[in-house]
Each structure stands twice: as structure tokens, then as C-alpha cells.
């Protein structure tokens, strides 16, 4: 509740609302790699900083996480993932030199709390130059992989940080046979990616190659060309499903009131999308209750009760129905059928005249009226007619018991009342 007075707004908390505590605890740094004052650190070391809680990734960048050699900034890229910030070098460090890493108070947690103060740690590099050549530790897809996605981004992981400028379309290639695949190469830390310019071809073998032109941050090249291969999978299913047949057929007539409705699709469907909201049966604008089942490529709708005789029904499959690949029907499928039975009877034209014959002999409690709707409502309100359960209607049971007897009103006329009730006791 809020009370306004001039420019003031006083807000009262609903006592039933839960009190959600606000995070006001500033984050801290729990671990660094290298550790503070570490020595003999590799010249290509990737710096890792672990926080005490989840951080706002937008505040973890090259401004808030820095590495310095004295007063000279060290070039590198900063990333944040799963509570850890990493500083990846763009070139090798200098041997036997002290470096200082800093995380500033610009780094904030997801609640907006900043570090209380700048955090610094230092380490000293090894005196031994790095002469070990890098190696490929893994690829994605793995070598000899099959069924690979046609939109796959190919990744190669190295044993150490690589010099980005040495990984390009000349040193990291993808080929289909002898034909080169065009794409873009990117490097981040120890990983290089190749993103094809277009989808790959289905069911086709591809070969990836890293040449000896690829070098680590110390300038060491890989010892020999590295190759790996994989095979793509089938083309993605992009074809929407369709309805190929229905039972009853469209515009069918003389359909039994116990009919189970079925529909066959052009392909296998996702069963969870074939439900009472996507597979419907209607009498006019009124939904018919029932259960939906699905098996193979066929869905069935079983009405909860017998259908009404001599009535037009509409069946619909909506665009919510999807195939196994997730493709939805392009347009809804709708068809009609008509149940069997006597022609629809009218309350005002067929039933009232017979009831008036009854009234000519007896004064009944249904209060006849010259207005058909009033007449109908009188019958319903007094239980003479029960539209939702015609077998329990007073009129139905009277007529079924033999009333009014022979001679006074013909069976043809009394059958009009019974059939009108079976058709739904409509006020028509």
C-alpha cells in the first residue's frame, strides 16, 4: 500500500510478503595462480584469479584486471567464467623479471558490491627461456568423429598460449577433399577456432590441419603439421509436417455418434505436442471434451461421451503440433463431418406443438408461454427437461413409461420430443 502526500511516497510492506535479504557483502579474492611471491613462473603463464562469489562479468576487463612489468603494462586479454578471471598473454614474458597483477575496486559482484580495496600480487618469471614447442592436446570435433553438426565451429586446443597472429587461414585450414573451406580463425588463450562461412555439406568427410606456422607466445612452432578428420551428419530436417489423411474424411456424413477421430501425419511427430489444445473437436463453437493419444504417425481423439446425432462437427490440428525435429505445421488443418440420425428438431417448431397437445388435456407445471424461450426456460427450471442429462428429465421418463397412452397423441409426435432431447434439448 502507498500513501501519497505532496511529493512524498510512503510504501508499507505487506506483512505476508517474504523478506528477501539484500547482499551487501563485498567480494574478495580467494586464490591466484601464480600465487603471491611465486618464483620460476613460466614465461607463457596464463594468470588466473578466483573470487569468493559470482561477479558481474562486465566489470571484469582489461581496466580492472592488469599485469605490469614495473610501470609498463603487459598486453593480454581478460575473460571471466564461473567465478574465475583469466589474463591471457599476447606475447611471452621476460625471463627472471618481477611482475605485479592488480584487480581494482572497479570489479563488482552481481549485487553491485565492489572489492573493498585494490588487490595486488606479484610473481617472478623463470630465468630459463621457453624452448618447448607447443602441441595440440585435443580437437572438437575429435578426430574420426561422425554425425558432426553442419554448423559446427571447429576448435583446436594447444598445450600452451599461442601467438594469435600465427593462427590464421593459412596455418589453420579445413578442407573437403582438396577444396578449402572458407571461414574465420580466432584465438583465445590456448584455444583456436575455425568458423565456416557457410554450413558444411551433409554426410561428408572433412580434414582440419594446423601447420608448423603456428607458434606459441615464445615463438616456438609446433614440431610437425597436425591433421584430424571428421564426418558430418545428415542434413537437418527443415520440412514441416502435414496431415495426409483423416478419419472421418472431410465432409463425411452418416458418422456414428461413437466415432473415434484419427489423423495421420506425413512424418513422426513429437507426442508432447499432440494434445487436447492442438487436436480439438468442436460442435459449433463449443469444444467437445475427450482424450488424445499418439502412436507412430497417427493421433486419435476419443470423445468423453457420445456425439449428438445429425450434427456437424469440426476437427482441427493447430500449428502447435510439431515433428521430431521441432518443425511446426505451417498452417492449421481443419475438416468437418456430420453424425448420423434423424434431422435436427426445433423446439419452437416441432416440440411446442406437441407439448400444447399435452396441455389441452392436462394443466402441467411447466407454465406454457407464447414466447418460445420463456416456455423452454420454464421446462428446464422445473426439471421437465434436463439438457445435460436428458435420461433423467421428467418428460423423457414419462414418455418412455408409455404416457400418454394410445389414441391421444401419436408416437410420431412423442418421438419428436424424445429425439429432440437426444439431440441435446436445444432452445432452437
> All 3 cell numbers of residue 16?
505476508
Task: Reply yes or no on whether the pLDDT at 5 is more than 50.
Answer: no
What is the structure's pLDDT at 365?
83
Task: Reply yes or no on whether the pLDDT at 1 is more than 70.
Answer: no
User: Where residue 19 falls among pLDDT bands split at 50, 70, 90?
Assistant: low
Backbone φ and ψ for 62, nearest 5 degrees, come out as -70, -5
* pLDDT tens digits, 249-273: 999 999 988 899 999 999 999 999 9
**Cα separation of 115 and 105, whole Å?**
5
Residue range 63-69: mean pLDDT, rounded: 97
What is the structure's pLDDT at 4?
45
Task: Reply yes or no on whether the pLDDT at 321 is more than 80.
Answer: yes
Beta-ladder partners of 122: 100
> All 3 cell numbers of residue 99?
611482475
* pLDDT tens digits, 290-320: 999 999 999 999 999 989 888 999 999 999 9
C-beta of residue 118 within 8 angstroms of C-beta of residue 104: yes
What is the structure's pLDDT at 402?
80
> All 3 cell numbers of residue 336?
468437418
Which structural domains are found in the chain, ordered by start?
A: 29-125 (2.60.40.1220), 136-232 (2.60.40.1220), 243-339 (2.60.40.1220), 347-422 (no CATH)
For the four alpha carbons of 300, 305, 306 and 311, in that order, the dihedral sign comes to negative
What is the structure's pLDDT at 189?
81
* pLDDT tens digits, 324-363: 989 999 999 999 999 987 777 899 999 999 998 888 887 8
Buried/exposed 158-193: b ≥16 CB within 10 Å, e otherwise: bebbbbbebbbeebbbbeeeeeebebebebebbbbb
What is the structure's pLDDT at 16?
61
**Cα separation of 104 and 182, whole Å?**
42
Q: How many CB atoms lie within 10 A of CB 194?
A: 21
Backbone φ and ψ for 40, nearest 5 degrees, come out as 65, 30
Residue range 202-219: mean pLDDT, rounded: 95
Cα angle 371, 374, 378; round to 5: 140
What is the structure's pLDDT at 419?
86
Residue range 202-217: mean pLDDT, rounded: 96
Task: Reply yes or no on whether the pLDDT at 3 is more than 50.
Answer: no
Cα atoms in the 13 Å half-sphere on the side-chain side of 319: 4
Task: Reply yes or no on whether the pLDDT at 18 is more than 70.
Answer: no
**Cα separation of 347 and 395, whole Å?**
14
Backbone φ and ψ for 197, nearest 5 degrees, come out as -70, -25
Task: Reply yes or no on whether the pLDDT at 106 is more than 60.
Answer: yes
* pLDDT tens digits, 364-397: 888 899 999 999 999 999 999 999 898 899 999 8
Residue range 182-209: mean pLDDT, rounded: 95
Q: What is the DSSP string of 57-86?
A: GGG-STTTEEEEETTEEPPEEEEEETTEEE
C-beta of residue 323 within 8 angstroms of C-beta of residue 240: yes
**Cα separation of 382 and 253, whole Å?**
36
C-beta of residue 115 within 8 angstroms of C-beta of residue 102: no
Mean confidence (pLDDT) of the chain: 91
What is the structure's pLDDT at 194?
98
> All 3 cell numbers of residue 160?
600452451
Which of the two residues, 91 and 33, has the higher pLDDT score?
33
Amino acid at each position: 500500500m502507498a500513501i501519497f502526500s505532496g511529493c512524498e511516497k510512503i510504501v508499507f510492506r505487506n506483512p505476508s510478503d517474504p523478506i528477501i535479504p539484500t547482499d551487501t557483502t563485498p567480494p574478495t579474492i580467494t586464490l591466484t595462480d601464480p600465487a603471491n611471491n611465486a618464483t620460476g613462473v613460466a614465461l607463457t603463464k596464463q594468470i588466473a584469479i578466483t573470487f569468493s562469489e559470482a561477479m558481474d562479468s562486465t566489470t571484469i576487463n582489461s581496466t580492472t584486471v592488469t599485469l605490469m612489468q614495473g610501470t609498463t603494462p603487459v598486453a593480454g586479454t581478460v575473460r571471466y567464467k564461473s567465478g574465475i578471471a583469466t589474463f591471457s598473454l599476447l606475447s611471452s614474458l621476460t625471463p627472471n623479471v618481477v611482475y605485479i597483477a592488480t584487480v581494482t575496486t572497479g570489479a563488482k559482484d552481481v549485487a553491485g558490491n565492489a572489492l573493498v580495496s585494490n588487490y595486488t600480487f606479484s610473481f617472478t618469471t623463470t630465468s630459463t627461456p621457453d624452448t618447448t614447442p607447443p602441441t595440440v592436446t585435443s580437437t572438437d570435433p575429435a578426430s574420426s568423429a561422425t554425425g558432426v553438426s553442419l554448423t559446427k565451429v571447429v576448435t583446436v586446443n594447444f598445450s600452451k598460449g599461442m601467438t594469435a597472429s600465427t593462427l590464421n587461414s593459412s596455418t589453420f585450414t579445413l578442407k573437403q577433399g582438396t577444396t578449402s573451406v572458407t571461414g574465420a580463425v580466432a584465438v583465445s588463450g590456448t584455444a583456436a577456432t575455425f568458423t565456416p562461412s557457410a554450413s558444411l555439406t551433409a554426410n561428408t568427410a572433412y580434414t582440419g590441419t594446423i601447420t608448423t606456422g603456428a607458434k606459441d607466445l615464445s615463438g616456438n612452432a609446433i614440431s610437425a603439421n597436425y591433421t584430424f578428420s571428421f564426418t558430418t551428419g545428415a542434413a537437418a530436417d527443415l520440412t514441416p509436417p502435414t496431415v495426409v489423411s483423416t478419419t472421418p474424411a472431410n465432409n463425411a456424413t452418416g458418422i456414428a455418434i461413437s466415432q473415434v477421430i484419427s489423423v495421420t501425419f506425413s512424418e513422426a511427430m513429437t507426442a508432447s505436442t499432440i494434445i487436447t489444445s492442438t487436436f480439438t473437436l468442436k460442435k459449433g463453437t463449443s469444444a467437445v471434451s475427450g482424450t488424445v493419444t499418439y502412436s507412430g504417425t497417427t493421433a486419435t481423439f476419443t470423445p468423453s461421451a457420445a456425439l449428438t446425432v445429425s450434427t456437424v462437427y469440426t476437427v482441427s490440428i493447430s500449428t502447435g503440433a510439431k515433428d521430431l525435429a521441432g518443425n511446426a505445421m505451417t498452417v492449421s488443418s481443419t475438416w468437418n463431418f456430420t453424425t448420423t440420425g434423424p434431422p435436427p428438431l426445433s423446439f419452437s417448431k416441432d416440440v411446442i406443438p406437441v407439448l400444447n397437445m399435452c396441455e389441452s388435456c392436462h394443466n402441467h407445471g411447466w407454465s406454457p408461454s407464447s414466447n418460445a424461450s420463456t416456455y423452454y426456460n420454464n421446462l428446464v427450471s422445473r426439471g421437465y427437461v434436463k439438457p445435460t442429462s436428458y435420461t433423467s428429465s421428467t418428460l423423457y421418463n414419462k414418455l418412455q413409461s408409455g404416457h400418454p397412452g394410445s389414441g391421444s397423441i401419436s408416437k410420431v409426435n412423442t418421438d419428436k420430443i424424445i429425439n429432440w432431447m437426444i439431440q441435446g434439448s436445444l432452445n432452437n
